[in-house]
């Protein structure tokens, strides 16, 4: 296995715990007392970076996190890390090292069957025509490379345009496993040296090279990014959501494109949306970050809407956004306002972003992301929210539907939720990233869920942070 050992002295390894005032009773949105003593846990190194990107629940109940790590002037490498109810364990970094500045990232993880996993991301190379390529890895339960994908356990994926040109830059943002066991990474590719990104899907049969897939996506919509997908089961189906320019009347804006691909080559399904494509356009720019499939076949996408552009001194104002689609790709008129729900998650005139969505069996939606001010240097707080099936915040969860977590680990006060998981015993597990002593750290926390008790004035503010040295 080509891995890098943990490179830093154990004496400076910090496990940071945020202490939360006890609540009178365990209501929906309280910190779970069985997880790290009822406290969020943070894995970090002074001056180092541990940027969590995605996570899955393993068959043994542990949560496996993927992300990117760097220290001081070192380049970036993908990492995996497991978190249990009481500890972090199994930390491993992966040395791809193909040159080009060593900017190698782990961005997505999905179960590959049993206790093995596909990881998607990107890797820099010293190839002038292809300086950034999509990275696909397969690892086993112990975090070792799995040669079932390729002899090395990883491969670099370049998205060909359909004239056979593989030059340009590629990046994998999500990975889904198809019904025949092949894997479909998706993300973006640029054939024009950083000027025009296109949403892309690949298909790779483990042990073989990738095959032409998703050719119908090669359309001239401008700058695109495929951000998330779900497998459909039969006929190698994949539904993916892409950020793409759309036209609303005379106004061009950033919108959403929901597509369903089927068959060996990923052709557009004509029964879905408009000949395989469902478009969402607004007069404001909207961006998707995540996608989930409901048990009844509908889809929920999360992201944000830009309500006011930014300036040199201020970030754009944004509303958290959810869109719900019917099984045929049309917006669901029973959700929010015509299929759209725009929400504030704590900062009415600030930044509110959804980074991940999960759907409960009863149709309620759980999201994580962040909220905060727009001024330079403003704090950003990790948030978890529960949304009712109709598209409004659930008042029986947290404080008016939202749990706002101010970790306060560093002066700039930045904490962002990246992935939300519905785990056993009616629990919500969230993985994210927080600023930490000149670097960034990985955050894990677990909340109670579905207690169906009213909240006794639960507040998540006023937490104190401290560090414990691990020998």
In tens, the pLDDT along 301-326 reads: 999 999 888 888 888 899 999 999 99
Closest CA to 445 of 2, 16, 13, 14: 16
pLDDT at 10 over 50: no
- Predicted confidence at residue 410, as pLDDT, reads 64
Q: What is the mean pLDDT of residues 381-405?
A: 95
- SS3 readout for the chain: CCEECCCCCHHHEEEEEEECCCCCCCCCCCECCCCHHHCCEEEEECCEEEEEEEEEECCCCCEEEEEEEEECCCCEEEEEEEECCCCEEEEEEECCCECCCCECEEEEEEEEECCEEEEEEEEEECCCCCCEEEEEEEECCCCCECCCCCCCCEEEECCCCCCCCCCCEEEEEEEEECCCCCEEEEEEEECCCCCCEEEEECEECCCCCEECCCHHHCCCCCCCEEEEEEECCHHHCEEEEEEEEEEECCEEEEEEEEEEEECCCCEECCCCCECCEEEECCCCCEEEEEEEECCCCCEEEEEEEEEECCCCCECCEEEEEEEEECCCCCECCCCCECCEEEECCCCCCCEEEEEEEEECCCCCEEEEEEEECCECCCCEEEEEEEECCCCCECCCCCECCEEEECCCCCCCCEEEEEEEEEECCCEEEEEEEEEECCEEEEEEEEEECCCCCCCCCCCCCCCEEEEEECC
| Closest to 442 (Cα-Cα) out of 32, 42, 164 | 42
Cβ-proximal residues to 261 (8 Å cutoff; 6+ apart), any chain: 201, 213, 214, 216, 217, 237, 238, 239, 240, 267, 268, 269, 276
pLDDT of res. 191: 62
Q: pTM for the whole thing?
A: 0.87
Question: Please, which pLDDT band fits residue 356 given cuts at 50, 70 and 90?
Answer: very high
Per-residue pLDDT of 426-459, as tens digits, reads 899 999 999 877 788 999 999 998 754 323 222 2
As a whole number, the mean pLDDT across the chain is 80
Task: Decide which of 348 and 417 is more confident.
Answer: 417
Tally of domains in the chain: 1
The CATH number that applies at residue 25 is 2.130.10.10
d(CA 38, CA 61): 18
Enclosing domain of residue 184:
3-469
pLDDT grade, residue 469 (50/70/90)?
A: very low
Higher pLDDT, 103 or 393: 393
Does 195 have pLDDT greater than 60?
Answer: no
């Amino acid at each position: 296995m080509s891995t890098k050992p943990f490179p830093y002295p154990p004496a400076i390894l910090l496990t940071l715990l945020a202490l939360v005032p006890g609540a009178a009773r365990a209501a929906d949105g309280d910190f779970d007392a069985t997880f790290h003593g009822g406290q969020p846990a943070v894995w970090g190194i002074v001056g180092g970076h541990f940027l969590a990107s995605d996570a899955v629940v393993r068959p043994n109940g542990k949560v496996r996190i993927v992300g990117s790590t760097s220290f001081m002037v070192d380049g970036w490498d993908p990492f995996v890390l497991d978190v249990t109810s009481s500890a972090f364990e199994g930390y491993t970094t992966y040395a791809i090292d193909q040159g080009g500045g060593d900017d190698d990232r782990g961005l997505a993880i999905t179960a590959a069957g049993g206790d093995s996993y596909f990881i998607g991301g990107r890797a820099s190379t010293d190839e002038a025509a292809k300086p950034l390529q999509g990275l696909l890895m397969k690892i086993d339960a112990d975090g070792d490379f799995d040669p079932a994908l390729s002899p090395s356990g990883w491969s670099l994926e370049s998205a060909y345009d359909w004239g056979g040109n593989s030059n340009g830059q590629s990046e994998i943002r999500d990975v889904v496993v198809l019904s025949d066991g092949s894997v479909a990474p998706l993300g973006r590719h640029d054939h024009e040296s950083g000027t025009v990104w296109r949403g892309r899907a690949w298909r790779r049969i483990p042990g073989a090279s990738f095959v032409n897939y998703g050719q119908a996506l090669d359309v001239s919509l401008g700058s695109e990014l495929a951000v998330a997908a779900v497998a459909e089961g039969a006929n190698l189906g994949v539904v993916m959501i892409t950020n793409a320019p759309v036209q609303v009347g005379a106004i061009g804006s950033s919108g959403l494109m929901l597509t369903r691909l089927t068959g060996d080559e990923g052709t557009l399904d004509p029964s879905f949306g408009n000949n395989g494509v469902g478009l969402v356009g607004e007069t404001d720019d909207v961006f998707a970050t995540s996608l989930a499939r409901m048990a009844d076949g509908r889809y929920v996408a999360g992201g944000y809407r830009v309500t006011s552009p930014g300036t040199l001194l201020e970030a754009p104002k944004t509303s958290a956004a959810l869109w719900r689609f019917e099984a045929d790709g049309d917006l669901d008129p029973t959700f929010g306002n015509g299929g759209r729900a725009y929400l504030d998650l704590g900062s009415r005139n600030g930044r509110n972003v959804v980074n991940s969505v999960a759907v409960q069996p009863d149709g309620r939606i759980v999201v994580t992301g962040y909220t905060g001010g727009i001024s330079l240097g403003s704090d950003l707080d990790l948030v978890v929210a529960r949304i009712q099936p109709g598209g409004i915040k659930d008042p029986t969860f947290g404080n008016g539907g939202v749990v706002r977590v101010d970790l306060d680990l560093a002066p700039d006060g930045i904490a962002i939720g990246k992935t939300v998981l519905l785990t056993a015993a009616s629990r919500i597990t969230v993985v994210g990233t927080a600023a930490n002593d000149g670097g960034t750290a990985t955050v894990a926390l677990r909340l109670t869920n579905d207690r169906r008790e009213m909240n006794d004035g639960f507040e998540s503010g006023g937490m104190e942070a401290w560090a414990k040295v691990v020998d």
